[in-house]
Amino acid sequence: MDLQPALQQYFAFDTFREGQEQTIKQLLSGHSTLSIFPTGAGKSLCYQFSAIHLPHLTLVVSPLLALMKDQLAFLKSKGIAAASIDSTLTPQENQTVMRDIRQGMIKILMVSVERFKNERFREFIASIDISMLVVDEAHCISEWGHNFRPDYLKLPRYRQELNIPLVLLLTATATRKVKKDMAQRFAIAPEHIVQTGFYRNNLDLTVLPVASQDKDKQLVDLIKQQQGSGIVYVTLQQSAEQVAKYLATQQISATAYHAGLDNDLRHQIQSDFMAGQCQVVVATIAFGMGIDKADVRFVIHYDLPKSIENYSQEIGRAGRDGLKSNCITLANLDGINTVENFVYGDTPELEGIAVVVDNICKEVSNGQWELQLLSLSNDANIRQLPLKTLLVQLELKQVIKPLYAYFAEYRYKFLTEQSVLLNQFHGERQQFLKAIFDHTQFKKIWGSLDIESLYQHYGCERSRVVAALDYLQEQGHIVLESKKITEVFSVDEQALSQPELVQVLSDYFLDKEQKEIERIAALVRFFELDRCLTANLARYFDDQNAPEQCGHCSVCRGQVAKLAYSHKPQLPEDGRLKSVLNGFKQHIEIKTKRSPSVGTYCRFLAGISIPLFSRNKVRQLDGFGCCEQVRFQSIKDKVVELI
């Protein structure tokens, strides 16, 4: 099979990069494949090229909207018919994409994994012939992986339900354990795993022990020694703003980038950086995926990254043009508790899990349970992301199964006068619309529709009402807003009543927490190695072919790092802590009629945000976050001793 002519015709490349041709040949011979290439090594071409040669649609699951948009722009430039179904499309654009897919005009469809929760999408995609499922950033499927996304666990089941013959998993970061886990979930044979070398000889790695008070000066000195543009990674949004501001005072063109900025501004910063109009972006991990800038000359970690996987992904954005680039970590132990606290904040307590299970037991009706994520998150005192993980675990244990989702609230305002609008319809359709308008409570110009009352008086299906409102919006007659998404699940009440269920779920989260804390410890051990950093990084990702000594890392230059605290963090005195904990206890008991748990006391002292604190104005209490510099385990030991 000579693939060269098509490579030249569609992509204008003369040769394949390492691993691409093997991946494509395996797929076109009908073998599902897992491909692990370094960041920037051309993973996307594997599915793009294969999709052109497969008879039906290729469905790509991607974790980030920005990634999808970049890929679509690239495919469009090559004349390859591709589309996405995502939250930025209008209902009309959505309809157009679906019609084009039905007519076979689209070869590649990109969606997020969350799209499968949408019942209308599931019904639509089940009616389409699909040749291949592509999972981008596939390490998200592994609970051993660093960016585990609970909804990814359901992809093997979707593949079965949709009867998709071929799967391609793509990632840049997979340890041996993660690799095995991913392949097993999709029954990919070991001989169909394609892994190119992880080692990159143009990246110079340095670990520089620096006390916190000296970081800013050290950062400025380092940037002034570099040529070209770079990225400075920090842990917190607030740090991104502060560091960027400081660099600007030192005549360095720098911009902060984090998830707290609005979309348009983030796009603007990205395009300024790509165009070379901004030298340095100071960013949280929100920045990077989908940044395909070939000439990033340096990546500096101002704070410790979250894990070895995150570190390798972030430095992988440097030097994609193959030219020498510097990757420097300003390292100390000061921020270690911040990274760990993200983990502890995401571990639900046993009581919270019991609240969720209890809620299902009490609210189940005719075998169905309705969920509004925000209110359940508040009731159970579990952050929304871990709550989603909990729901996926209940799904995998076959306790619940998603049926569909709907918006609990619809409100609209007229752009066409009501009587003029009604006169455009006749007979029953006119009566139906009049019933919708009559069951809407208007305050000034906006009206809220009472679907329950409409159903009792007119007896129409909810789906018909929603379709009518969508149609009126499409035709420019109304502006429509929908709020409070409600998810509906079927419930297996026998599985729900297992006596050990809450404990099993709690053990799962505690195990996950332990893995994450161990991952952070492994990161510190890596930075303190006395053997070649580059070689050990390659081995971590199961690349056994990297040289024993690279000659371009700080250890090979004889600089072995020892990480320390700038100031050893101390707990406040016992008297102060007792007073603070008492004040907190009284506040919570007045507000909730319940005493705080040990975990809640610890999160209060560590300054970790959880729903209970946001709802009850806990951040304003004396002592909130008074131990935020101290490791969580030390706080826990002290709390147990004091209470």
The listed range with the strongest mean pLDDT (1-5, 211-215, 457-461) is 211-215
- Taking the chain, what is the end-to-end CA distance rounded to the nearest angstrom? 72
d(CA 58, CA 556): 46
Token pair recorded at residue 589? 């008991």
Residue 308 scores a pLDDT above 70:
yes
| Spatial contact of 121 and 111, defined as CB atoms under 8 Å apart | yes
User: What are the phi and psi torsion angles at 61 (to 5°)?
Assistant: -100, 120
pLDDT band at residue 145 under the 50/70/90 scheme: low
pLDDT band at residue 496 under the 50/70/90 scheme: very high
Alpha-carbon distances, residue 247 vs 258, 334, 341, 567 (angstroms):
17, 21, 28, 25
Residue 266 scores a pLDDT above 90:
no
Q: 482: which strand partners?
A: 410
HSE of 147, CA atoms in CB hemisphere, 13 A = 21
pLDDT band at residue 350 under the 50/70/90 scheme: very high
Q: Could you tell me how far CA 455 lies from the centroid of its own chain?
A: 38
Query: What is the 3 state secondary structure string of 351-396?
Result: HHHHHHHHHHHHHCECCEEEECHHHHHHHHCCCHHHHHHHHHHHHH
Residue 119 scores a pLDDT above 70:
no
Q: In what order do the strands lie in the sheet with 130-135?
A: 82-84, 108-111, 57-61, 130-135, 166-171, 33-36, 193-195
Comparing 172 with 303, which gets the higher pLDDT? Answer: 303
pLDDT band at residue 103 under the 50/70/90 scheme: very high
The helix (run of H) or strand (run of E) holding residue 157 is helix 155-162
3-state secondary structure of 204: strand
Residue 405 scores a pLDDT above 80:
no
> 């990814």: which residue's tokens?
152
Concatenated DSSP letters of 480-547:
EEEEEEEEEEEE-HHHHT-TTHHHHHHHHHHHHHHHHHHHHHHHHHHHT-SS-HHHHHHHHTT-TTS-
d(CA 107, CA 157): 23
Mean pLDDT of 606-621: 89
Alpha-carbon distances, residue 372 vs 310, 377, 383, 461, 486 (angstroms):
32, 9, 13, 21, 5
| Spatial contact of 496 and 505, defined as CB atoms under 8 Å apart | no
Residue 290 scores a pLDDT above 60:
no
pLDDT band at residue 118 under the 50/70/90 scheme: confident
Sign of CA dihedral 270, 271, 275, 278: negative
User: What are the phi and psi torsion angles at 481 (to 5°)?
Assistant: -125, 140
Mean pLDDT of 204-209: 97
Mean pLDDT of 150-176: 90
Which range, of 46-60, 140-154, 250-264, 313-327, averages the lowest pLDDT? 140-154
User: What pLDDT is stored for residue 286 in this prediction?
Assistant: 66
Concatenated DSSP letters of 542-596:
T-TTS-S--SSBTTTTT-------SS---PPPHHHHHHHHHHHHHHHHHHHSSPP
Residue 631 scores a pLDDT above 80:
yes
User: What pLDDT is stored for residue 230 in this prediction?
Assistant: 95
Residue 108 exposed, middle or buried by CB count within 10 Å (0-12, 13-18, 19+): buried
Comparing 529 with 482, which gets the higher pLDDT? Answer: 529
User: What pLDDT is stored for residue 289 in this prediction?
Assistant: 58
User: What pLDDT is stored for residue 167 in this prediction?
Assistant: 97
Which range, of 59-68, 266-275, 423-432, averages the lowest pLDDT? 59-68
Residue 25 scores a pLDDT above 90:
yes
Percent of the chain with pLDDT over 70: 97
User: What pLDDT is stored for residue 609 in this prediction?
Assistant: 87
Mean pLDDT of 277-298: 82
Residue 96 scores a pLDDT above 80:
yes
pLDDT digits (tens, 9 = 90+) for 39-88: 767 888 999 999 999 999 999 998 877 678 778 888 988 889 999 998 77
Closest by Cα among 381, 391, 370, 393 to 347: 381
User: What pLDDT is stored for residue 147 in this prediction?
Assistant: 66
Neighbour-count burial for 215-245, b at 16+ CB within 10 Å, e otherwise: bbebbbebbeebeebbbbbbbebebbbebbe
d(CA 638, CA 574): 9
Mean pLDDT of 382-390: 90
User: What pLDDT is stored for residue 87 in this prediction?
Assistant: 77
User: What pLDDT is stored for residue 466 in this prediction?
Assistant: 82
User: What pLDDT is stored for residue 396 in this prediction?
Assistant: 85
Mean pLDDT of 130-150: 82
| Spatial contact of 87 and 65, defined as CB atoms under 8 Å apart | yes
Q: Under 8 Å CB-to-CB from 14, ≥6 apart: which residues?
A: 7, 8
Comparing 481 with 300, which gets the higher pLDDT? Answer: 300
Token pair recorded at residue 377? 């998150």
Token pair recorded at residue 102? 């039905």
Q: Could you tell me how far CA 115 lies from the centroid of its own chain?
A: 14
User: What are the phi and psi torsion angles at 411 (to 5°)?
Assistant: -135, 150
Percent of the chain with pLDDT over 90: 56
What residue spans of 397-485 are helical by DSSP H?
418-422, 427-438, 451-458, 462-474
d(CA 569, CA 571): 7
User: What pLDDT is stored for residue 339 in this prediction?
Assistant: 83
Residue 384 scores a pLDDT above 70:
yes
Give the global pTM: 0.77
Q: Under 8 Å CB-to-CB from 438, ≥6 apart: which residues?
A: none
Rg of the chain over CA atoms, in angstroms?
A: 27
Comparing 113 with 146, which gets the higher pLDDT? Answer: 113
For the packed helices 350-363 and 384-396, what is the interaxial angle rounded to 10 degrees? 60
Neighbour-count burial for 28-65, b at 16+ CB within 10 Å, e otherwise: eeebbbbbbbbbbbbbbbbbbbbbbebeebbbbbbbeb
Closest by Cα among 566, 560, 564, 565 to 528: 560
Mean pLDDT of 171-176: 85
DSSP strand pairing (33-36 vs 166-171): parallel
| Spatial contact of 315 and 205, defined as CB atoms under 8 Å apart | yes
Other C-beta atoms lying within 10 Å of the C-beta of residue 166: 20
d(CA 382, CA 87): 26
Comparing 12 with 287, which gets the higher pLDDT? Answer: 12
| Spatial contact of 40 and 202, defined as CB atoms under 8 Å apart | no
User: What pLDDT is stored for residue 607 in this prediction?
Assistant: 92
d(CA 225, CA 541): 31
User: What pLDDT is stored for residue 144 in this prediction?
Assistant: 65
